[in-house]
Amino acid sequence: MSNTIDERRQHQRRDTVLSMQSRSDKGEVVARMTARNLSLGGLYCTSSKDYPEMTRLAVRLLLPEPANDDGTEPLDLEAVVVRRQELARGSNGDDRYELALFFPTLEPSAKQRLEGYLATT
């Protein structure tokens, strides 16, 4: 039996664990997030902040890059929240949320970086 969600997806998702952030218009970190799976079309993550569905976000993925001092290279993307769910509070008492994000557009350089990362995972 096939899953209708999988049938609608244009891009295969890959399981991953990546740090990421949502950022304000001024570039300030608004929420800390962890990507759990990723594709060229979007990602699933957990977040320290809730966002209503259809909210546009500026997100920064911290992709592995061994050549850099901290081992990551940021990739800034635009995303839209297409699904959200509140989770039980974390062990430290912080609120946590599951978010499904869609990438409405990808610059060619961002698409190339994502393709490269997905090909190695």
Distance CA 47, CA 104 (A): 20
This prediction's pTM: 0.81
Distance CA 115, CA 104 (A): 16
Q: How many domains is the chain built from? A: 1
The CATH number covering residue 38 comes to 2.40.10.220
Q: Which domain holds residue 39?
A: 4-120
Residues in the chain: 121
Read off the pLDDT of residues 73-120 as tens digits, 9 standing for 90 and up. 899 999 999 999 988 776 676 778 999 999 999 999 999 999 988 888
Q: Which of 73, 67, 5, 68 is nearest to 39 (CA)?
A: 5
- pLDDT tier for residue 71 given thresholds of 50, 70 and 90: low
Q: How far is CA 59 from CA 9, 79, 89, 99, in A?
A: 21, 7, 23, 12
